[in-house]
Amino acid sequence: MGWAILGEYLRFLLLGAYPRGPLGGLALTIYLSVVAGLSSFGVGLLGGLARTSSRKYLRVPATIYVEVIRGIPFIMVLFWFYFLVPRILQHSITENAAAFVGITFFFGAYATEIVRAGIMSVDKGQVEAGLSSGLFDWQVMLFIIFPQALRNMIPSFVNLYVSLIKDTSLIFFIGVTELTGAATQVMRREVSTTVPVFILLFAVYLVLCSTLNSFSDRLEAKLASAS
């Protein structure tokens, strides 16, 4: 009975109210994961460069940002951007926008550490060689250090992305109708679907995250054999 009723809500679980309403369900989970994942990488790139900079006015704020975010749970960051920031700015923000900014801000800190570790993994002798050949600091970073560091960062970024996908399940607490939010609405409407919905959620997240973990393991092994 529960499975039959769940079939009636399958489209809602996959797409939300789209195309007659806003995008939701699994499609919104994937969309937010991709967009926020890319923006987190951008934050991490800038933050990582700041963390490894010799200039204290760049390094210190970046270090504080990373240490503060790593010491608090993701749900708190979501509440900041959905409840606190609009009160401070005296301007409302949509649930989806708060989720996007919260994910970017939180995972950007972890991406910053990945970039920093990647840069630090490159032998300092190559930096000295680049500078002695007449290159500027930014040229050494762009053409010598970063290509090698990026190779070391890739497996860590894939693992971070897996964590990001899993944590998108928490954004339903601020009213976002992603997969978990859509599933919660279905269970409230039809109590008989509770078990099938939880099984579906388990299967979807397992497939998504296991696929990415498998990709990360193969990629790491390939990079290790190539080095």
Domain containing 124 equals 2-226
Diameter of the chain measured on Cα atoms = 74
List of residues 6+ apart from 104 with CB closer than 8 A: 36, 39, 40, 43
pLDDT at 63 over 90: yes
Residue-level pLDDT at 53: 86
Spatial distance between the Cα atoms of 28 and 99, rounded to a whole number of angstroms: 11
In angstroms, the Cα distances linking 11 to 7, 15, 26, 170, 180 are 8, 6, 10, 21, 14
Angle among Cα 51, 52, 55 to the nearest 5 degrees reads: 85
Q: Report, as an integer, the average pLDDT of 141-164.
A: 85
Most confident of 81-85, 139-143, 193-197: 81-85
What average pLDDT does the segment 109-119 reach? 93
Q: For residue 160, what is the domain's CATH number?
A: 1.10.3720.10
Report the C-alpha gap between 63 and 70 in whole angstroms.
11
Q: For the chain, what is the mean pLDDT?
A: 88
What is the pTM assigned to this prediction? 0.90
Domain count of the fold of the chain: 1
Q: How confident is the model at residue 167 (pLDDT cuts 50, 70, 90)?
A: very high
- CB of 103 within 8 A of CB of 184? no
